[in-house]
Amino acid sequence: MKIGIYPGSFDPVTFGHIDIIERASKMFDKLYVLVSFNNAKNAFFTPEERVEIIKEVIKPLKNVEVISSSKLTVEVAKELGATALIRGLRAVTDFEYELQMASTNRTLNGDIETIFLMTNTQYSYLSSHLVKEIFALHGNISHFVPKYVEDRLIKKVKEEKTK
């Protein structure tokens, strides 16, 4: 059984991520979507919320499981028996960072291969960061994330305000 793992921050998950998840799910018997986080970075959603949101939007994909961890990705991969890390490639800036991570992960664990899929050109300039920026300025994000994600962003903002 071939097991893959797709790590990321997913804060929040976008149509670009969902496209990669769908395509990667066809390539493996089992695909893990890994919400990786570290305490330093200030995030919009908690890791638990992000897992919850991804689970909701990829519900139809039966061989995909969503988890979260603050450990090194290669460690998580090893524990799960995954032989491949999946990463989406969008643009050149991405590319450099991605090669750095792939090279580093290979140094840390030579048994796990990093596999890159090309992000659909339609989503090639889409990022979680951008979604949050536009949302903060009350722009329309319906082309970038599913309705459910939009609702959660709105709900979260309301919660923050009533704190």
Binding string to its own copies for residues 38 to 57, with x set by CB under 8 A, is what? x-x-----------------
Residue placing its CB nearer to its own copies in the complex, 38 or 162: 38
How far out from the chain centre does Cα 38 lie? 14
Residue whose pair of structure tokens reads 């988890």 in the numeric block: 67
Residue closer to its own copies, measured from CB, 7 or 56 = 7
What is the distance between the alpha carbons of residues 59 and 62, in angstroms, rounded to a whole number?
A: 7
Q: Quote the CA–CA distance of 135 and 132 in Å, as a whole number.
A: 5
Residue 24: partners with Cβ closer than 8 Å, 6 or more residues away: 4, 6, 31, 86, 117
Helix, coil or strand: residue 16 = helix
Q: Which is nearer to its own copies, 133 or 151 (CB)?
A: 133
Q: How far is the CB of 67 from its own copies (least distance, A)?
A: 16
* Annotation marks residue 128 as catalytic: yes
Which position among 9, 25, 68, 128 bears the catalytic label?
128
Q: Which of residues 54-83 bind its own copies (CB under 8 A)?
A: 70-72, 74-75, 83
Contacts of 79 (CB under 8 A, 6+ apart): none
Instruction: Determine whether 138 is an active site residue.
Output: no
Residues 78-137 that bind its own copies (CB under 8 A): 83-84, 89, 91-93, 95-97, 99-100, 102-104, 106-108, 113-118, 121-122, 124-127, 130, 133-134, 136-137
At residue 134's C-alpha, the angle toward residues 130 and 140, to 5°, is 120
HEC string of 107-145 equals HHCCCCEEEEEECCHHHCCCCHHHHHHHHHCCCCCCCCC
Residues recognised as catalytic: 17, 41, 90, 128
Using CB under 8 A, list all residues that contact its own copies: 2, 23, 26-27, 38, 40, 70-72, 74-75, 83-84, 89, 91-93, 95-97, 99-100, 102-104, 106-108, 113-118, 121-122, 124-127, 130, 133-134, 136-140, 143-144
